[in-house]
């Protein structure tokens, strides 16, 4: 080993050009002494490098840390020029210095075992759980590849061709491709529609739209949260207390569903809109299992001079596959997330009309003027640099959504949802609106002895992910009477009618177990949250719950998950 180091030192002295620092040393009369001392101090690092290479070679794998090709050191004394070139390159790149390179080159399993363990736990949970939350899905391996790609390294404030940082030529290609695919997927003419793909998520995207076309204090109408609406549509309590900050910035008034049918009450909406005169009406839902009449929404919006903004976050995949009606024909603006039925990354898009909005009686054309306002609202109004890795992943998901396989998948989502609803109805469960036309179902648990919060809790203990949800007439969002479930995620994993029939049986078993466990809750006076915590303890201690949980975990674990989880 010592002979190897001496040989290497002599070769380096003879064949490697001195660095700038070495030239400075030559000005000193003690240059040769300093030069020898410097390289003698490097011996430990050199020995460590050779030892590391030998260990790697013994394991028949390349050395990632040092980037030394095995053939370069396959013999102890290669040609002097080859050895000098190899070792000089390694030294010049700084790969023999310990900390810096290993910090950025180690996988998470080595660099942060604690976080890696959490990741492994979540991977196991996803594979061995039944995911029924309709806003969740399993994205593709290709999308995950982009999310963990070098695109995330680049900062790119601005828009394609108009950036505030250099080096964005390739990022521009990525974002432009994403925009083009978004318009193509929904059959939109680029002369009549534009799209912004930079919003970070759905709720922010809605805020960006409101801010672009409304001043603070102007009026907004959206479906009431207990009736199936979303927080970002301006939810506030009946007392007028703002829950969403949207209702702090703007005056909001909810419209409702008919509590008898569970369907949107368009007649009442029309009356309210004429009286309230909103600037924006939102046609969109978060827990509504029926189709939306966009033509009627447009008629109502035109009657009060409002913009019609359609939020298709839940159904954007279904719309892309023409499984449900499209909002684009009748809407001025369309927003959507990209991770639900569309099965992409966690991002959002804002589509907006371009061209002529209307013509006055005198023949004057009134343009939309939405593009500049919305783009400015996104950046610099609310965001800085976009998440380029997400935009790249979104482009991949949009391409996938154009395939025949994706259209088949979307049809299966709806078919499975309708079958699932029928199975639950046969078991005696009441469904809000009586059934479903899309990807989700809302179960009305008011006829049972348990609320949605307890059913969600016991389902979680059984490795089934669902979410409690308000139903028309509910007063509490924390302890509502509904349970919201959907089919997109498990359809991705290959579930069909047979599997969803089995899931319906598991839900029925869970409700019955919950009713029994509730009778064991302490009789002492406790607040609602404390009683729920006691119920959770009972679930964790129940042998019946443990046995059924193991059965479900084993059963669902047989079905594949994208990304080889």
Asked whether 457 and 531 are in contact (CB, 8 A), the reply is: no
Give the CATH fold of the 405-556 domain. Answer: 3.90.1150
Residue among 227, 239, 351 nearest 285 (CA): 227
Whole-angstrom distance, CA of residue 330 vs CA of residue 309:
9
- Residue in 25, 35, 155, 559 annotated catalytic: 155
pTM: 0.82
Banded model confidence at residue 335, pLDDT cuts 50, 70, 90:
very high
Q: What is the pLDDT of residue 24?
A: 44
Spell out where 118-157 has E strands: 130-131
Same fold, 144-402 and 405-556: no
**Where would I find the beta strands (DSSP E) of 271-363?**
280-284, 307-311, 333-337, 348-353, 356-359
Q: Based on the residue annotation, tell me whether 189 is a catalytic residue of this protein.
A: no
Would you list the domain boundaries of the chain? 2-104, 144-402, 405-556
Confirm whether 335 is a catalytic residue. Answer: no
Provide the pLDDT confidence category of residue 242 given band limits of 50, 70 and 90.
confident
Residue 164 pLDDT > 60, yes or no?
yes
In angstroms, the Cα distances linking 225 to 256, 307, 322, 473 are 9, 21, 27, 10
Catalytic residue among 34, 296, 346, 399: 346
DSSP 482-506: EEEEESHHHHHTT--HHHHHHHHHH
Q: In the predicted model, is pLDDT for residue 123 greater than 70? A: yes
Overall average pLDDT of the 494-504 stretch: 98
346 labelled catalytic: yes
Among residues 22, 136, 145, 157, the one annotated as catalytic is: 157
Average pLDDT value for residue range 26-36: 50
Catalytic site includes residue 541? no
* Catalytic-role residue among 335, 336, 337, 457: 337
Q: Mark whether 155 is an active-site residue.
A: yes
Q: Encode pLDDT of 46-103 as tens digits.
A: 666 666 655 555 444 433 333 434 444 343 444 445 545 555 555 555 554 567 788 8
The predicted structure's pLDDT at residue 238: 81
Amino acid 52: pLDDT? 63
| 60 classed as catalytic | no
> Is the pLDDT at 372 greater than 60, yes or no?
yes
* N-to-C CA span, the chain: 45
87 vs 93: CA distance, rounded Å: 10
Cα atoms in the 13 Å half-sphere on the side-chain side of 378:
28
Please list the alpha-helical segments (H only) found in 134-195.
141-147, 169-185
Q: What is the CATH number of domain 144-402?
A: 3.40.640.10
CA-to-CA distance for 490 and 504, rounded, in angstroms?
13
């Amino acid at each position: 080993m010592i002979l190897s180091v001496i040989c290497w030192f002599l070769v380096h002295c003879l064949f490697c050009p001195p660095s700038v620092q070495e030239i400075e040393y030559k000005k000193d009369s003690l240059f040769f002494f300093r030069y020898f001392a410097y390289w003698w101090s490097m011996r430990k690092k050199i020995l460590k490098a050779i030892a590391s290479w030998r260990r790697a070679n013994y394991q028949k794998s390349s050395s990632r840390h040092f980037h030394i090709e095995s053939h370069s050191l396959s013999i102890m004394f290669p040609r002097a020029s080859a050895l000098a070139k190899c070792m000089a390159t390694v030294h010049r790149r700084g790969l023999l210095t310990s900390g810096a390179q290993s910090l950025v080159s180690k996988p998470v399993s080595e660099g942060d075992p604690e976080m890696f363990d959490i990741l492994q736990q979540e991977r196991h949970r996803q594979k061995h759980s039944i995911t029924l939350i309709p806003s969740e899905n399993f994205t593709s391996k290709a999308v995950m590849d982009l999310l963990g790609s070098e695109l995330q390294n680049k900062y790119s404030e601005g828009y394609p061709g108009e950036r505030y940082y250099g080096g964005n030529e390739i990022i521009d290609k990525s974002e432009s491709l994403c925009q083009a695919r978004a318009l193509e997927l929904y059959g939109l003419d680029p002369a009549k529609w534009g799209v912004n793909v930079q919003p970070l998520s759905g709720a922010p995207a809605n805020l960006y739209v409101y801010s672009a076309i409304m001043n603070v204090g102007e009026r907004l109408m959206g479906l009431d949260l207990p009736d199936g609406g979303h927080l970002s549509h301006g939810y506030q309590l009946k007392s007028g207390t703002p829950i969403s900050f949207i209702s702090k910035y703007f005056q909001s008034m909810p419209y409702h569903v008919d509590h008898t049918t569970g369907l949107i009450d368009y007649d009442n909406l029309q009356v309210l809109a004429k009286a309230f005169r909103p600037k924006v009406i939102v046609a969109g839902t978060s827990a509504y299992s029926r189709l939306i009449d966009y033509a009627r929404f447009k008629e109502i919006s035109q009657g009060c001079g409002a913009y019609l903004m359609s939020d298709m976050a839940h159904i954007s995949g279904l719309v892309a596959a023409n499984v449900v009606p499209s909002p684009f024909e009748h809407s001025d603006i369309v927003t959507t997330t990209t991770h639900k039925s569309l099965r992409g990354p966690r991002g959002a898009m804002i589509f907006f009309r371009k061209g002529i909005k209307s013509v006055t009686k005198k023949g004057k054309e009134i343009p939309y003027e939405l593009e500049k306002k919305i783009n400015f609202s996104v950046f610099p109004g609310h965001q800085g640099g976009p998440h380029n890795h997400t935009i790249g992943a979104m482009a991949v998901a949009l391409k996938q959504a154009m395939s025949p396989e994706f259209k088949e998948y979307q049809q299966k989502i709806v078919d499975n949802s309708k079958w699932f609803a029928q199975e639950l109805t046969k078991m005696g469960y009441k469904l809000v609106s009586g059934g479903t036309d899309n990807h989700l179902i809302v179960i009305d648990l008011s006829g049972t002895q348990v609320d949605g919060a307890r059913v969600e809790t016991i389902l979680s203990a059984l490795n089934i992910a669902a979410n409690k949800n308000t139903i028309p007439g509910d007063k509490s969002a924390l302890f509502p009477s509904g349970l919201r479930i959907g089919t997109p995620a498990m359809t991705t994993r290959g579930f069909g009618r047979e599997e969803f029939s089995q899931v319906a049986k598991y839900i029925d078993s869970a409700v019955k177990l919950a009713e029994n466990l509730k009778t064991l809750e302490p009789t002492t006076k406790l607040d609602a949250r404390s009683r729920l915590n006691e119920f959770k303890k009972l679930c964790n201690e129940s042998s019946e719950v443990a046995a059924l949980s193991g059965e479900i975990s084993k059963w669902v674990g047989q079905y594949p998950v994208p990304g080889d989880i």
